[in-house]
Structure 1
Amino acid sequence: MFQLTANPASALVDEPVHIQVTGLSPLQMVTLVASLKDDKGSLYQSRAFYRANEAGELDLKQAPALGGYFTGVHPMGLIWSLKSEKAFERLIKRDVMTTPYRITLDLYDSVYLQKSDKVQPKASQVVQRWFSSPEMQRVQIREGRVRGALFFPPGEGPFPGLIDLFGGIGGLVEYRASLLAARGFAVLALAYFAYDDLPEQLQEVDLEYFEEAANLLLAHPKIQKPGIGVISVSKGAEIGLAMACYLKQVAATVCINGSNAIFDFPLRYRDLVITPIPSFPERMEVDIMGAVRLRHYKGDPRDELNQQSVLPVEKAQGAILFIIGEDDECFNSKEYAEQALEQLQRHGRSSGRMLAYPGTGHLIELHYGPLCYASWSRGLFRPLLWGGEPAAQAAAQEHAWGEIQKFFRQHLVRSRSTL
């Protein structure tokens, strides 16, 4: 009798699952299908073909996929290769506290190529993937101008404090903050437009808003003093780098596929106004799927006329980690990070480091998160091309997730010891 097991059946989304099948015939061909419905009801699926060993057993830690959505030995391949039935969808968990993702694993006899109501699986198993841990706390933040959600691990603390910034998606995005809280950090998922009473569209970046958020976080008794970290991606990483440059509260910054200069909208901080580098709409490219490539859309920070828009990274008091996808189709992110590191070196600073990942696109997500190659984005008439190749992206996300946590523990704990 076929038996499909997945252990653990309930775990955090960044934990591995061990998938095995027993009771097969020797060398039998089977198909494994993973299915997930997101919070909106959109269906994501993956499939892979396997051959049992001579004992009629299948262990995804050892057995290579022979075809399907990936090939080779990838124990978590069925999870990171999930794809939406709809074009240009991005998998985003909205309810991070009360419901997990439920992934159904189905086992089919022989090579099963497409869904059919007439073909029933020989065995099934449901796996729950959580974004929060028991006794974790979520606090809605609506204090002064600051809007967001603050996540605390169980216990009294004090905990290393982080601010989490996303980019042009707008609104309040909580899934990374909640998972970092499950890993021992106190994290403020910070909205800065298109949420609550904040502006619907981003027209300028007021750095004093982010300073207010940093002060609010540091004032909490559960937050470790004297400095906080910032984790940021895309437009958020541009803001995160500006925070590192101008705000003394910031002791460590992770910039994921961001820029080293101000683009699109002016940045204001007290009496300072930094005008953005111009963009060139005629440089937009449309790929064969109809998605827009913005990689060459922005002006070059190295041009003499753009120098006043380059962020003074040499003024950053804390460490900076640039995480880069070398297949980023949205930003010229590797060049921006290299320019920032060169600028630090010219000023005798060694506080910056870059991790660059080949075959990896703009949206470097959580460990085991599926690749989003292109998706709709706020305010654009076409989907945005993000880039990336599934297996390379999965490997990069696994490595980067560990490095991000290690970086914050190293630099935020070190800042505490200077008290």
Structure 2
Amino acid sequence: MPMTQLTATPVSALADEPVHIRATGLPPMQLVTLRASLKDERGNLFWSKAFYRANEAGELDLKQAPSLGGDYVGVHPMGLFWSLKPERPFSRLIKKDVMNSPFSVTLDIYNLACLPESGTVQPDASQVVQRWFRRPGTQRVQIREGRLRGVLFLPPGEGPFPGIIDLYGGSGGLVEFRASLLAAHGFAVLALAYFAYEDLPELLLEVDLEYFEEAVNLLLAHPKIQGPGVGVISLSKGAEIGLAMACFLKQVVATVCISGANSVFDFPFKYKDLVMSPIRSFMERMDTDVSGAVRLFHYWGDPRDKVNQQSVLPIEKAQGQILFITGENDHSLNSKEHAKQALEQLKSHGKSNGRMLVYPGAGHLIEPPYMPLCYASRSVVKFLTLLWGGEPAGHAAAQEHAWGEIQKFFRQHLPQTRSHL
């Protein structure tokens, strides 16, 4: 009888590239279990499983064969990757060291229709796949200029490259993996921290737009950045800041707001002489799901209420293009409604420089493709377990589609390198 072989092509690739998984040498029509596992840099285990049936020739191709059960059902060639779940509840998979090591995903196949207890049965075949977050030749430059703190990723080559500022949300610190992946596609990306990192304030008490304006100016002064405008990619609290940058900073010509608000939330916003107070919030409206995670969906007031109107960002001032990305299963914020209100505000001023992508099944944390859904995670800042929402297959489809749309949007609206004739 032939020996079972498991192949994954390519075995080493960027984390946003698909992998083709096949198996041969299986008993014809055999029910098998496929398992994926990885450990993050802290040693936390993430794993997934799915049950498949081999064909009459004893072969299995995940591009064609449907999963019959496990963590997903149906034809999903990358299902084992995006359905990875943490062994330790509420852990979020984030790549810390993007330059020196990949995520190593171990794929195992068992000629069994169920997954045995870990370690009790050896897999019939295994394959390790490397998932990188940067291309060879990418430069990672630490930024410590004035009060700015962050990391600039420069693609290999002479440039100049279109420039983007990458902002994450209310957990603070510095998140680099989306910026380094975008740099792999030809953009120069500044992952910018704005609190809870190095000597920046430990807690966010106000949003000072002049800090972010300094970051824009730093990018535009860099010899490898193609002026005269830059882009912003932003998520959650970062998307509120990204939208404010689009409103007030004319050098920001293309802004992606993922799961964000159209108003000032939680902390005052200031820019030069302007101070905007945050929208009202209601502690008593916070609720929890069965896991005990806190849902913030109803926590904030409605921007349309008269009492909150002074907190709404003046989006009609935005001169650049804005792309809103929202999930219909966002449990943290009614981001779809906020984006809708922002677009209505533009329209009422005769402007059409915004558009929205809405994804059914997607939660709050819409990341690059094949990153697993984080349904809920512990927030270092709020000292709570926060519910983000999303269902795995819909969320995965959203991430894959949105990533392509984000790159198209930036290519279309950012200054491109002038060709040298």
Normalising by structure 2, what TM-score? 0.98
Match of 1:289 in 2: 291
2:9 corresponds in structure 1 to 7
* Partner deviation per Cα, 1:220-258 (whole Å, 9 max, x = no partner): 010011000000000000000000000111000000000
Deviations 1:162-186 (A, max 9, x none): 0000011100100000000001100
Equivalent-residue separation in structure 1 for 2:117 and 2:263 (angstroms): 48
Matches within 5 A, 1:16-165: 16-165=18-167
Over residues 310-335 of structure 1, what are the superposed CA-to-partner deviations in whole Å (9 max), with x where a residue is unaligned? Answer: 00101001000000011100011011
Q: Which residue matches 2:338?
A: 336
1:249 and 2:248 aligned:
no
1:408 and 1:229, CA in 2 relative to 1: closer, same or farther beyond 3 A?
Answer: same
Three-state SS of the structure 1 residue aligned to 2:232 is strand
Q: What letter is aligned with 1:369? A: M
Note if 1:167 corresponds to 2:169: yes
Q: Is the 8 A contact 2:162 2:417 kept in 1?
A: no
Offset, 1:212: 0.3
How much does 1:378 deviate?
2.1
How far the C-alpha of 1:414 sits from its partner, in A, is 6.9
Which residue, out of 342, 347, 350, partners 1:348? 350
Aligned match for 1:372, one of 366, 371, 374: 374
Contact map agreement 1:193 1:202 (CA 8 A) in 2 = yes
2:308 pairs, out of 301, 306, 309, with: 306
SS in 1 for 2:227: coil
The aligned residue for residue 392 of structure 1 is 394
- Conserved in 2, the CA contact under 8 Å of 1:165 and 1:189? yes
Please tell me whether residue 361 in structure 1 is matched to residue 366 in structure 2.
Answer: no
Asked whether the 8 Å contact 1:99–1:130 carries over to 2, the reply is: yes
**2:192 corresponds to which of 190, 193, 214:** 190
Amino acid paired to 2:212: F
Is the 8 Å Cα contact of residues 255 and 322 (structure 1) preserved in structure 2?
Answer: yes
1:372-408, CA deviations, whole angstroms, 9 ceiling, x for partnerless residues? 0000012324300000000000000000000000000
CA distance in 1, matches of 2:332, 2:118: 37
CA distance in structure 2 between the aligned counterparts of 1:325 and 1:39, rounded to whole angstroms: 29
Q: Report the 3-state secondary structure (helix = DSSP H, G, I; strand = E; otherwise coil) of the residue aligned with 1:99.
A: coil
Q: Does residue 1:317 correspond to 2:319, yes or no?
A: yes
Structure 2: distance between partners of 1:380 and 1:211: 27
Distance in 2 separating the partners of 1:297 and 1:13: 35
1:336, distance to aligned residue in structure 2 (A): 0.4
Tell me, what secondary structure is at the counterpart of 1:87?
coil
Mapped contact 1:226–1:416 kept (Cα < 8 A) = no
Q: Give the C-alpha shift of residue 416 in structure 1.
A: 7.8
Query: In the TM superposition, what whole-angstrom CA distance separates every residue of 1:274-315 from its partner, at most 9, and x where no partner exists?
Result: 111111000000111000000010011101121111001010
Kindly indicate whether the alpha-carbon contact (under 8 Å) linking 2:236 and 2:259 is maintained by their aligned counterparts in 1.
yes
Q: Which amino acid aligns with 1:383?
A: T
Could you say if the C-alpha distance between residues 373 and 114 of structure 1 is closer, same or farther in structure 2, counting changes exceeding 3 Å?
Answer: farther
One-letter code of the match for 2:42? K
Between the aligned partners of 1:43 and 1:61, the Cα distance in structure 2 is 26
Q: Distance in 2 between matches of 1:379 and 1:397?
A: 26
- Unpaired runs of 5+ in structure 2? none
Looking at structure 2, the residues matched to 414 and 350 of structure 1 have their Cα atoms a distance apart, in angstroms, of 23
CA distance in 2, matches of 1:23, 1:240: 52
Give the deviation of 1:415 after TM superposition.
Answer: 11
Q: Does 1:382 align with 2:384?
A: yes
Displacement of 1:110 after TM fit? Answer: 1.5
Aligned residues: 417
Aligned twin of 1:412: 414
3-state SS of paired residue (1:33): strand
> Alpha carbon RMSD of aligned pairs, Å?
1.1
CA gap of 1:285–1:415, structure 2 versus 1, over 3 A, is farther
Distance in 2 between the 1:258 and 1:114 partners? 42
Cα pair 1:234 1:258 within 8 Å, conserved:
yes
Alignment of structure 1 residues 192-207 onto 2, 5 Å: 192-207=194-209
Corresponding residue number in structure 1 for 2:279? 277
C-alpha deviation, 1:413, in angstroms: 3.2
1:226–1:415 contact (8 Å) kept in structure 2: no
Q: How does 1:201-240 map to 2 (within 5 A)?
A: 201-240=203-242
Could you tell me how far apart the structure 2 residues matched to 1:139 and 1:252 are?
23
Inter-partner Cα distance in structure 2 for 1:64 and 1:138 = 41
Which range moves more in the overlay, 24-33 or 335-344?
24-33
Q: Residue 379 of structure 2: SS of its match in structure 1? A: coil
Aligned partners of 1:290 and 1:382 also within 8 Å: no
Instruction: Give the C-alpha shift of residue 343 in structure 1.
Output: 0.3
* CA apart distance, 1:113: 2.5
CA distance in 1, matches of 2:26, 2:216: 57
Would you say the 8 A contact 1:227–1:415 is kept in 2? no
- Rounded Cα–Cα distance in structure 1 between residues aligned with 2:363 and 2:161: 32
